[in-house]
Amino acid sequence: MSEVPDEIRDLQSNVALSMLTDLFKQGKINQEQCDSYKKKFHKLHDTVVQTFKNHHFLWEKSKKLKTQLATEKQNLETALNDQANAQEKAQNLNASLKKTEAEYEMMEQLIDAKQFQCEEVEHEKSIILTRISEQEKMAKSKALPEMLQKDAEIERERDLLLEYKQKIESEQKSIDEKTEKIEQLKIENDEKLNKISKLNDEYIKIKDDPNRFSKNAEMLKSANKIMLKDLQGYKDDISKKNKQIDDLNVELKKLQLKLQEYESQIDEEKSITEKNQREQAIQNDLSSKLKEEISDLSSQKVSNDIEIRNSQLEIRRHRDTVSSLKKAIDLDKKELKKQQTQMQQINDTLHEQKMILENIKKEIVNLKYEIEKQNEIGDNIAEEYTMLEGRVRKVKDKAEEKMQEQSKVDNEIKKFEKQMIELQNFEAEGLKRVKALTATRESMARKASSALAEVRETREELKIKELLIMDLQKKAQETEAKEHNYKSLYEEVKQARNKYVNMIQNSSQDLAELKERIKILQNELEILKNESQEKERTLLEYRHCLQVEVHKKDRSHAKLNKLEYQRKAKKEIIDQNINEIQKLNMIISSLEKDMLNLRKQYEQVCESRNHTGIVLIDRNDELCIMYEKCNIQDNILKSGELEIKRLEDDIRMIKIEIQEQKRKIDVARKDILQIPQLSSKVIQLKDELELEKKKESQLSEELENPNNQQRFRELGGEDPDQEALDAKIHVLEERLNNKKEQLLEKELILDEITNLSEKLRKQALDGRLSTLELSEKVNEFQAKLKDLTRKMMATIAELSMYQATAIKLQQEKDELENVVQEARQRLDKSLPPLPEHEDEYLRQQKAQIRYLEDRRQRLEKEQQEKMFEPFSCKTMAKQRVQQYIPDDITGAPLPKNYGKQAPFYPPESNAQLRFYKKPKVKEIEI
């Protein structure tokens, strides 16, 4: 829009005022009418100038506001899209978290069950190992093992070692595969981190809406704390399992070293055993009786070993067996080095162990079938264990990813909080500046009121200066984009200039006449001044009334604008609600799909859980059968141990008699060579004996002689009295009674302990029966807990949605309040409430003008159609020129037809011209 032109601004050379003065001079108008018309003209002139200024100002302001509105709309759309993406991500994270929690609970249940089984098996194993160690000690004390059987055992153990090595290699391969998977997961994690960084960059763009997300951030913090606790639990489990793996690797290395030492020791003992084999043939008869009893013990041992294999604790068993064998070998080595005299006992024990191993070989053939069955069961358990390990690793990977995402979200929240603090500080500074500016504005208003008086005096001088200033502003503000507007203005000004030139010429003539008349009118002016003062008073009253009416009109316009604005706002709210309903419907449909998938997964997991429960019940029944077998075998063991003790006593007595006979024979053999020496010694001893007999007879006579006073010697001291002896007896009896009382108390305590132990044993048996009911109850409680957590998460999601809508509505309310305040301020300044209203008013005027023009054209066409003949050809095309006037001066200027050579009439340019190529001008070759 253009600014106020100079011709409108300048009132001195105005046509209307000059016309009024002419009319007054001619006597067509009174002085009062002339003054009133002039005042009205001045007022209208001021309003026109003000409208020009307002129009220019509002046009520029509307451009700025449109640009701001477009940018704000773009920011709002981006923020809404980002918010929707963030909500979808949060929902996906919650769903994945629920899945991981369910898998983790199932894993914990399976791990607890297997730990319970392992503890029972370890308890049984410890009992069996104690029994075996006692039996081995008894067997070693009875007889010597044979090294050939030990060689066979060593070969078996070597086979087992090879199997273990193969298993270790397979496990190492699996570990390598898992490391490759971990590297792949790391790569995926890096990709996800890059995605998260991009999302963070997008998230930084949404800094204008921190209040909207502050409460959501608090909710995320609380959820993140729960997640951190769960993740810490996962990390602790992972660290424990890693420690267990490291311990197992260390134990494997130790076992390999021990086996190497064991093989070297066995080679040394082979040479010793070859010497002792010759002496073992004597005691084969005695060992045949013990074969049957030892075979029973070996069968029990083999059955216990099989149970240990089924419990997946082969590594520990192997370690214990190797350590026990190593101890036995060390003891044998020390005994061989220190006591070579006890070789016979060692040979006996070797022979007995050889027989035991032969019986074990026979029983291994019978037990292979059972071992194959139990190996199949163990393979199934191993597959389940591998599946569980895979799930645990998946859970760990997910937990690590969530931890990384959580740490990034926390960092972003901290950044936003810092930005919030900075913005609050900036807002406080802005408020301070606003207060200072308001104070300055008031001071400036006071100065302006004082300066108005001066302005009135200097207004005539300022008019000239304002014209110069306006010209300079025009030159500074005009640009190339406004050339077309100025061309049109230039043409209008040219026409106006021609008019004004004519009017100036007329006015110069009138001025000469007026100078003569002014002299006459000066006298009349003094009379009219008094009249004008009275009329000014009436005019002020009229202006006051007019301002009141104008204010009423503005208020009515403001009310209309308010109602229109409310209608538009409500319409926008309705559109927004419709869009939000569509979004929510989309979200609900996606959530229903996820719920169906989760329900299918839950049914599959329930089926697997029921299957595992049935398997656990079968295993419990098998355990009860095994406990009964163990009790029977314990009774058999006790009876066998009693018989073995009896036989050991017999063997010991026989060995002692044999040793005595051998010793007597050796003594007799040694004494045969010393017979002549001994005969001489016997004669000497007989002589000495006779001498001693003589001494003895003399001494006996001296003792029997009562006259001999040296035959006895009186003892010193005193004999105790009867009272002292009674006191000692009383003290000893009291001590004896105390001991008896203590013994009775201990017997009572022992009886109570036995009763309690029997009760506990019964409770344990009853508890095994009630485990199924307890597991069902636990599953029911877990299902209830899952339902409650699901409902809680749903309510939290609904609350977050309501919270977001509340924040949004609060912001809209604040914006509307600001708009209302601005509108009121503009109304107080006698301006339209919003700049858009003025544009709408102009648009309506243009539309009305366009409608009137269309109507006029339509009426003209109808009139033309009425003028046509009824059966004539009608066309919408423009009429072409078909005749021309010749240039011949001689002839009469009569029109002639063109005929075939009529001038070309080009069509109007349209959009199809872009499909035509320009013709290429060919050069003329000569």
d(CA 860, CA 866): 10
Please say whether the dihedral angle defined by the alpha carbons of residues 538, 543, 544 and 548, taken in this order, is positive or negative: positive
Tell me what pLDDT residue 177 has. 74
263: tokens are 């093989």
d(CA 262, CA 257): 9
Please determine, for residue 727, whether its predicted confidence score (pLDDT) is greater than 80: yes
pLDDT in tens, 776-802: 888 888 888 888 888 888 888 888 888
702-706 average pLDDT score: 74
Choose among 779, 732, 738, 460: nearest CA to 609: 779
The model's confidence at residue 546, banded by pLDDT at 50, 70 and 90, is confident
Please determine, for residue 93, whether its predicted confidence score (pLDDT) is greater than 50: yes
User: 648, 141 in Cβ contact below 8 A?
Assistant: yes
Parallel, antiparallel, or unpaired: how do β-strands 896-897 and 883-884 relate?
Answer: antiparallel
Amino acid code (one letter) for 539: L
Residue 137's Cβ-count burial label (10 Å; 0-12, 13-18, 19+) is: exposed
Please determine, for residue 696, whether its predicted confidence score (pLDDT) is greater than 80: yes
Please say whether the dihedral angle defined by the alpha carbons of residues 814, 815, 816 and 821, taken in this order, is positive or negative: positive
Tell me what pLDDT residue 524 has. 73
Please determine, for residue 646, whether its predicted confidence score (pLDDT) is greater than 70: yes
The model's confidence at residue 2, banded by pLDDT at 50, 70 and 90, is very low
User: 400, 116 in Cβ contact below 8 A?
Assistant: no
567: tokens are 């209608």
**Residue found by looking up tokens 């800094």 in the block:** 207
Please determine, for residue 321, whether its predicted confidence score (pLDDT) is greater than 70: no
The model's confidence at residue 643, banded by pLDDT at 50, 70 and 90, is confident
103: CB partners within 8 A, 6+ apart: 391, 394, 395
Please determine, for residue 689, whether its predicted confidence score (pLDDT) is greater than 80: yes
Residue 315's Cβ-count burial label (10 Å; 0-12, 13-18, 19+) is: middle
Q: Which residues pair with 896 in a beta bridge?
A: 884
| Greatest mean pLDDT among 41-50, 282-291, 694-703 | 694-703
| Greatest mean pLDDT among 44-58, 310-324, 691-705 | 691-705
Distance of CA 645 to the CA centre of its chain: 69
Parallel, antiparallel, or unpaired: how do β-strands 144-145 and 883-884 relate?
Answer: unpaired
715-742 average pLDDT score: 82
Amino acid code (one letter) for 207: K
Please determine, for residue 431, whether its predicted confidence score (pLDDT) is greater than 70: yes
User: 648, 352 in Cβ contact below 8 A?
Assistant: no
Tell me what pLDDT residue 138 has. 66
Choose among 82, 95, 81: nearest CA to 794: 95
Q: Which range is least confidently modeled, 58-67, 464-473, 914-923?
A: 914-923
Tell me what pLDDT residue 392 has. 60
Tell me what pLDDT residue 919 has. 67
Choose among 248, 234, 227: nearest CA to 107: 234
| Greatest mean pLDDT among 94-103, 155-164, 432-441 | 432-441
**pLDDT greater at residue 375 or residue 478:** 478
pLDDT in tens, 839-874: 888 888 888 899 999 989 888 888 877 776 666 666
Tell me what pLDDT residue 588 has. 78
d(CA 87, CA 84): 5
Mean per-residue pLDDT over the chain, rounded: 71
Tell me what pLDDT residue 693 has. 85
User: 45, 16 in Cβ contact below 8 A?
Assistant: no
C-alpha to C-alpha distances, 115 to 121, 387, 484, 571, nearest whole angstrom? 10, 17, 92, 66
Q: Which range is least confidently modeled, 110-114, 417-421, 731-735, 855-859?
A: 110-114
d(CA 248, CA 915): 82
pLDDT in tens, 207-222: 555 555 556 556 656 6
**pLDDT greater at residue 899 or residue 336:** 899
305-318 average pLDDT score: 57
| Greatest mean pLDDT among 298-307, 322-331, 352-361, 813-822 | 813-822
**pLDDT greater at residue 598 or residue 336:** 598
d(CA 107, CA 389): 9
pTM of structure: 0.19
d(CA 742, CA 570): 97
Please determine, for residue 336, whether its predicted confidence score (pLDDT) is greater than 50: yes
User: 258, 322 in Cβ contact below 8 A?
Assistant: yes
Tell me what pLDDT residue 1 has. 44
34: tokens are 């002339």
Tell me what pLDDT residue 347 has. 59
106: CB partners within 8 A, 6+ apart: 605, 609
d(CA 806, CA 813): 10
d(CA 87, CA 798): 12
The model's confidence at residue 299, banded by pLDDT at 50, 70 and 90, is low
